[in-house]
Amino acid sequence: MSKQIIIPVVLAGGIGTRLWPLSREQASKQFLRLTGKQSMLQYTVQRLLNLPHTTPPIITCNKDHQFLVRGQMRELSLEYRTIFLEPIGRGTGPAALIACLETLSDNIDPLVLIVPADHVIQNEAEFGAALEVGVTSAEAGYLVTFGVLPTRTESGYGYIQRGQELQPGVFQLASFVEKPNLSAATDYGKDSRWFWNSGMFLFKANQYIEEAKQYQPEMFACCRQALEESENAHGCVHIPQSSLTQCDSGSIDTMIMEKTTKGVLVPLDAMWSDVGSWKAMWEINKPDSNGNVVHGDAITRNTSNTLVYADHKLIATVGVENLVIVDSSDALLVCHLDKAQEVQDVVASLKSDNREEYRQHRKVDRPWGTYETVDAGEEFRVKRITVYPGCRLSLQSHSKRAEHWIVVSGCAQVTRGREQFALSKNESTYIPANTKHRLENSGQTNLVLVEVQTGSYLEEDDIVRYEDDFDRQSGDF
């Protein structure tokens, strides 16, 4: 492979609605440990760091996920170049352009490798080999996309048709089709000219910028302005919403690749999956002799071709087939295996109804630890709060609720108004509404406590922050 520097850009801004109820707006699939002990984001970054001639990656994500990203990188000591925080999603086209513009700050024109954070690649050697084939074309000024050899009929993927072979393993782009119907997908699977669209790209930073200037001049102007007006803090680049709001939304495919004359395709046969549905999860986990994939505590009797994901409790199945059964703390999904793509319609309904099950789980990650809703009713909510060693919550107050804290384990350092005191196991305190307060764990083990909230309004946006170790404002979580 060429020794020219390659800067990976990891796109971690998606939600993954078809993997509900595990994937939520505040806990998207790239942050979940769906296929092993690491999250999909962690696997992706580790895979890129193992490649030759690559730098630590740029990571782009929603601003609400910055602490999840930083925490998962810190957990495995994974290096990254910077994190771009998007206040709103504008698709992969603008995200890639902002990253390319940023790489030119080093006065070089590197190769940029665009990869989603939520894909599985089981054969990393083949991935590296395909990348090596693509490097020569990218250095020559082509925009390379990687097409996956289809292994089944799949209407949930986009398709790319290859044209004439330009050099061994490199083809012209003939056409794109976004998620065809089942009949068309069946035909494509029988035609060796058609490939799944992997959503991965390789090109010189300046080449992508020039293509954007030519085919998307308004996007280029908005992205350049957004980068110029961005602010750097704690290893993150904060993109201003005012600039990004004016930018058209779209993918790299629709905004650039379907228009350019410099696009080429490199075939990829690396046991790839975008894990875009529960059926995809069933397939990549190698079903047992009965066709079942089981995660967690489950008993299956006379059951076949079924995915069972028991996240919180025992699940027993008797005499069923071709099902997806996924249990979470606050929702249960049961659907036919062949209808797994339609889970996104359920999520759309939840979002339309403003249901909490769309946004987040009962257990929520925070930069200082976690909290989990244990019970809730009219004018009360009970939470289990865990504060990591050396961490503390912001100095804050609430106008519409009071809080009662009971320490379960560890030792809490408490600020309540002008008072500061310690609480040990089985001790408690009361925080009236409109009282400045803070919770800190100065010990070496996790601090665990039960918080009982009472009041007329108990949502997370009833918060005023006065000091915060993580630079969050009153509206940030």
Residue 210's H or E segment, with its range, is helix 205-215
Q: Is the pTM of this model over 0.75?
A: yes
What distance in Å separates the CA atoms of residue 418 and residue 405, rounded to the nearest whole number? Answer: 18
- Residue 152: the pLDDT is 86
Cβ contact 278:19 at 8 Å: yes
Is residue 472 very low, low, confident or very high in pLDDT (cuts 50, 70, 90)?
confident
Range of weakest confidence among 36-50, 194-208, 357-371: 357-371
Residue type at 37 in one-letter notation: K
> Can you give the length of the chain in residues?
477
What distance in Å separates the CA atoms of residue 374 and residue 22, rounded to the nearest whole number? Answer: 18
Token pair 């083809």 in the structure block, residue: 171
- Residue 82: the pLDDT is 94
Beta-bridge partner residues of 409 = 448
What distance in Å separates the CA atoms of residue 384 and residue 426, rounded to the nearest whole number? Answer: 14
Whether the predicted pLDDT of 456 surpasses 70: yes
- Residue 16: the pLDDT is 80
What distance in Å separates the CA atoms of residue 176 and residue 172, rounded to the nearest whole number? Answer: 12
Quick one: average pLDDT of 296-300?
96
Whether the predicted pLDDT of 1 surpasses 60: no
- Residue 157: the pLDDT is 86
Is residue 477 very low, low, confident or very high in pLDDT (cuts 50, 70, 90)?
low
Percentage of the chain lying above the pLDDT 70 cut: 98
Whether the predicted pLDDT of 380 surpasses 60: yes
The yes or no reply on domain 6-273 and CATH 3.90.550.10 is: yes
Whether the predicted pLDDT of 35 surpasses 90: no
- Residue 206: the pLDDT is 96
The yes or no reply on domain 362-467 and CATH 2.60.120.10 is: yes
Residue 422's H or E segment, with its range, is strand 419-423
Whether the predicted pLDDT of 222 surpasses 80: yes
Percentage of the chain lying above the pLDDT 90 cut: 78
Whether the predicted pLDDT of 384 surpasses 80: yes
Task: Report the SS3 class of residue 446.
Answer: coil
What Rg do the C-alpha atoms of the chain give, in angstroms?
Answer: 24
Residue type at 258 in one-letter notation: E
Cβ contact 359:23 at 8 Å: no
Is residue 474 very low, low, confident or very high in pLDDT (cuts 50, 70, 90)?
low
Q: What is the DSSP string of 85-146?
A: EESS---HHHHHHHHHHHHGGGS---EEEEEETT-EES-HHHHHHHHHHHHHHHHTT-EEEE
Chain segment 97-131, per-residue pLDDT in tens: 999 999 987 678 999 999 999 999 999 999 999 99
- Residue 182: the pLDDT is 86
Task: Report the SS3 class of residue 348.
Answer: helix
Pairing relationship of beta strands 263-268 and 272-273 according to DSSP bridges? unpaired
Whether the predicted pLDDT of 2 surpasses 80: no
Tokens of 156: 């949930």
**Mean of per-residue pLDDT scores for the chain:** 93
Every domain of the chain and the residues it spans: 6-273, 278-349, 362-467
Is residue 476 very low, low, confident or very high in pLDDT (cuts 50, 70, 90)?
low
Q: Measuring CA to CA, how many Å separate 49 from each of 217, 389, 431? A: 33, 29, 47
Range of weakest confidence among 48-52, 195-199, 358-362, 431-435: 358-362
Whether the predicted pLDDT of 224 surpasses 70: yes
